[in-house]
Amino acid sequence: MLLRRHILSLAALACALGAPAVQAQGAYPSKPIRMIVPFPPGGGTDILARLVSSKLTEVNKWTVVADNKPGAGGTIGITEAVKAAPTGYDLVMGQKDNLVIGPWLYKNLPWDPTKDLTAVAHVAYTPVVIATSTSSRFKTLADVVAAAKAAPGTITYGSPGNGTSIHLAGDLFEKAAGIKLSHVPYKGSNPALMDALAGNVDLLVSSLPSAMGQIKAGKLHPLAVTSAKRSSSLPDVPTVAESGFKGFDVSTWYGVFAPAGTPAAVVKTLNAEVNKLLATADVKAAINAQGAEPQAMTPEQFSTLLKTEYQQWKGIVEASGAKIE
């Protein structure tokens, strides 16, 4: 009897000592997590958000559900995330477009990305690509520039919407080349892509992940990428800088954010699990296949990137003259 009591006492003690660790480990997540996607299905943000969501579900046995909330250059989805309870159950796949550039283009946004969001995990970065349908008369970037100089304002380009880095990349290219193009904003990358393939717009300015599928399929012809270096996914495609516009460099990044005030322990857990995914061969390959480059960061590093670029792009936007009508 005494031996049995001793064993039970030891077992109870062990459970008591172990309970906090088990509870802490199992405390989050205890229910489904919503991953807000601020753009429609099919675009670069959507592709990466669904990759992260599906892998967290598959590998960690969590339930992470992507939820598209498009519109206003991605700012509608961000607004929804900002208003959500800071519990870790409402996340958003943000990007440079809607967090760094959008606030300087849209007036009276009800949030400041550096104050109202918590940087959780950087996922990837990618250049912007300028492309045409394979049936287009434009075969090089020089063809576009020559035609635009001959007939200013007649050549159209589609983008995923006003207030994106992609829209601004097109605007900056116009200024660098000394030409006038006509911008046609869409509600997301996929509608712009479809119209470019159909010939309804002359050019597509897009994130590389959004365009990669049709480039691989041979239906979309890339003229140039906007990053300082060539994309590892499209090594034969020249940069805008190589095409005669020295110093041209516009790229974008994607990452997971949570409402400000989300518990540090939850942020740490999410960051660790996303970074584990980014280190796996299959996730790296999936991101590279979309024309993006995976890059892990700590929450602190990602927060610093956000704050630094938020201030840098204020001047770039103002100098470009880009505005939301």
Which residues are bridge partners to 253 per DSSP? Answer: 125
pTM: 0.74
pLDDT in tens, 178-210: 999 999 999 888 999 999 999 999 999 998 988
Q: Give the count of alpha carbons within 13 A of 6, CB side only.
A: 3
> Quick one: tokens of 290?
């979309």
Distance CA 8, CA 215 (A): 66
Domains 32-125+252-320 and 127-225 alike in fold? yes
pLDDT in tens, 300-324: 999 999 999 999 899 878 877 767 7
pLDDT in tens, 205-252: 998 988 999 999 999 999 999 988 899 889 999 999 999 999 998 888
Distance CA 46, CA 35 (A): 10
Q: Which superfamily does 127-225 belong to?
A: Periplasmic binding protein-like II (3.40.190.10)
What's the mean per-residue pLDDT of the chain?
89
**For residues 166 and 240, which has the higher predicted lDDT (pLDDT)?**
240
When mean pLDDT is compared across 5-14, 100-109, 121-130, 253-262, the lowest value belongs to 5-14
Distance CA 26, CA 10 (A): 23
Q: Which superfamily does 32-125+252-320 belong to?
A: Bordetella uptake gene, domain 1 (3.40.190.150)
The residue ranges of every structural domain in the chain are 32-125+252-320, 127-225
Distance CA 257, CA 74 (A): 14
